[in-house]
């Protein structure tokens, strides 16, 4: 065995594999992880704050954690249309993590019956009773 399962492919390992005559190896693609920071008060950290707003600190934090674990993160900060963004990211990413977005103005939490979560429920939870 030249490399164990889970070994990260580095330039040095490529040289060793080539030296042993291996032209192909079986690998696992790095997962694409969409990180959605939702909320009308949340803005990207590179924009100027106005009263009542806060910078997205959770998105960069989770992005770093995903990178450390070998994933390919993309952070999306959305102040509107979370349904459209969720639908779009479900098509592109292997996993979607949402942060915030639990309030509808009156600080009401969304339920599992919400149309907002329907795309996720139908894709992953349709068999759970």
Q: Are 25 and 39 in contact (CB under 8 A)?
A: no
**pTM of the entire structure?**
0.66
Within 10 angstroms of residue 101's Cβ, the number of other Cβ atoms is 19
Tokens standing for 39? 């909320």
What tens digit of pLDDT does each residue of 62-110 get?
999 999 998 999 988 877 777 788 888 888 999 988 887 655 555 444 4
Q: Are 84 and 36 in contact (CB under 8 A)?
A: no
Helix (H) or strand (E) holding 55: strand 54-55
Task: Enumerate the CATH 3.40.980.10 domain ranges in the chain, comma separated.
Answer: 31-124
Tokens standing for 101? 């977005």
CA–CA distance, 89 with 65 (Å, rounded to integer): 19
- Topology of domain 31-124, CATH: Molybdenum Cofactor Biosythetic Enzyme; Chain A (3.40.980)
């Amino acid at each position: 065995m030249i490399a164990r399962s889970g070994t990260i492919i580095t330039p040095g390992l490529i040289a060793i594999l080539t030296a042993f005559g291996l032209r192909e190896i079986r690998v696992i693609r790095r997962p694409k992880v969409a990180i959605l920071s939702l909320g009308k008060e949340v803005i990207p950290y590179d924009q100027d704050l106005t009263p009542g707003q806060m910078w997205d600190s959770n998105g960069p934090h989770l992005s770093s954690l995903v990178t450390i674990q070998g994933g390919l993160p993309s952070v999306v900060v959305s102040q509107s249309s979370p349904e459209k963004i969720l639908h779009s990211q479900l098509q592109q990413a292997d996993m979607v993590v949402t942060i915030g977005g639990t309030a509808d103005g009156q600080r009401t939490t969304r339920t599992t019956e919400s149309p907002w979560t329907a795309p996720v429920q139908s894709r992953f939870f349709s068999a759970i009773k």
